[in-house]
Structure 1
Amino acid sequence: MRLTLSLELATDAHGAARLLADPDFVRETVRAAGATDEQVDVTGEPPQGPFTVTSRRALPADQIPAHVRGFVGNRIDVRQVDAWEAPTPDGSRAGTVVVEIAGAPVRLTGDATIAPAGPAASTVTYDGELKAAIPLFGSAVEQAAAGAIRSALEVIADVARRRLAAAPADEA
């Protein structure tokens, strides 16, 4: 199934990249999404060059519908890799995203972009294909996974809003 989500951030594209490459920000977002355990690695040259953010998190399985919990057990182990290219002069970036749920044949692969949306605004867009390779129940698992991924990305936007509202104007 196709999954497209956009996050509006109250900072320019350069600021959005700084935020997304900040390990403390990523940890805060995975905890806010309900993670009971997390690991975050940032490699590369953020924010001036290309960078990759890898996060692993354990989430309680109660975040997915009861009828598909049997496929994942008591917790969901999620690995997300966002790989960003170097920015263009206006701060735009292209990238890729992969989200995998360990122990379940569920995977999201797609493209990601950071684009200016005004002098102090940007849009981060994720557009990918979500697949659950489970005979008969694949569609139900995809729907459940899509809901969990949407919720996790909405948490990123919420944490970003709080962070950017609290940051001095020269840091946003």
Structure 2
Amino acid sequence: MRLTVELTYPASVDVVAAMLADEEFVRWRAARSTGSGEVEQADLTGSVGEGFTAVVRRTLATDQIPAQVRPFVGDRLEVRQAEVWEAPRGEHVVGTVALEIAGAPVRVTGTVRLEPAPDGGTRQVYYGEVKASVPLFGGVVEEAAARAVRATLLAEGEAGVEWLAGAGRP
């Protein structure tokens, strides 16, 4: 199942890329977008100029997943998300993203891109593929996983807007 999520930020691509490469932001964003779950790990390596990698591992409650899917995933989900960003290319920064749910037959892979928005801000666009290897219920699991991933990415975008406005910073 294809998944596209677009986020917008009221700042330039350079400023947004620097935010995404800030380890404090990565941890804060993960905590803000986890809801009732817990952040187990949030690490960042590299830099904007050379390219960087952000890895987040968190646990989430499954209360918002449809009841027919819960037997496949249990009461809590361990979600591992990795974004690998390349060095900037002009006004664009591109990367790859992988998200997997431990113990569940679901994986999301794709690309992510920062680009100037027409209003002077920045668009962050995720293009991904959600795959579930569950006989008979694969489509239902993929749809539920896509909803959860979309909600998480939208929450991360809201956290980014708040960070740019000064929230969460020391």
* TM-score, normalization by structure 1: 0.90
- Aligned match of 1:115: 115
- Aligned match of 1:40: 42
RMSD: 1.5
The answer (yes or no) to whether the contact 2:39–2:56 under 8 Å persists in 1 is no
Within 5 Å, give how 1:10-159 maps onto structure 2: 10-32=10-32, 33-34=34-35, 35-44=37-46, 46-90=47-91, 92-118=92-118, 120-159=120-159
- The structural deviation recorded for 1:157 is 1.3
Question: Which piece of structure 1 moves more, 133-142 or 61-70?
Answer: 61-70
1:75-111 CA-to-partner distances (Å, cap 9, x unmatched) read: 0000011001100232x11110000000011001111
Q: Which stretches in structure 2 are left out of the alignment for 5+ residues?
A: none
Q: In the aligned structure 2, how far is the partner of 1:118 from the partner of 1:104?
A: 39
The one-letter code of the counterpart of 1:47 is V
- The structural deviation recorded for 1:48 is 1.7
Task: Give the SS at the match of 1:67.
Answer: coil
Q: In the aligned structure 2, how far is the partner of 1:51 from the partner of 1:118?
A: 26
Q: In the aligned structure 2, how far is the partner of 1:7 from the partner of 1:127?
A: 12
Q: Which aligned runs of 4 or more in structure 1 are off by greater than 4 angstroms?
A: none
Q: In the aligned structure 2, how far is the partner of 1:59 from the partner of 1:160?
A: 20
* TM-score, normalization by structure 2: 0.91
Give aligned-pair identity as a percent. Answer: 46
- The structural deviation recorded for 1:14 is 1.0
The one-letter code of the counterpart of 1:100 is E
The answer (yes or no) to whether the contact 1:38–1:56 under 8 Å persists in 2 is yes
Q: Which stretches in structure 1 are left out of the alignment for 5+ residues?
A: 168-172
Q: How many corresponding residue pairs?
A: 165
- Aligned match of 2:164: 164
- The structural deviation recorded for 1:155 is 0.6
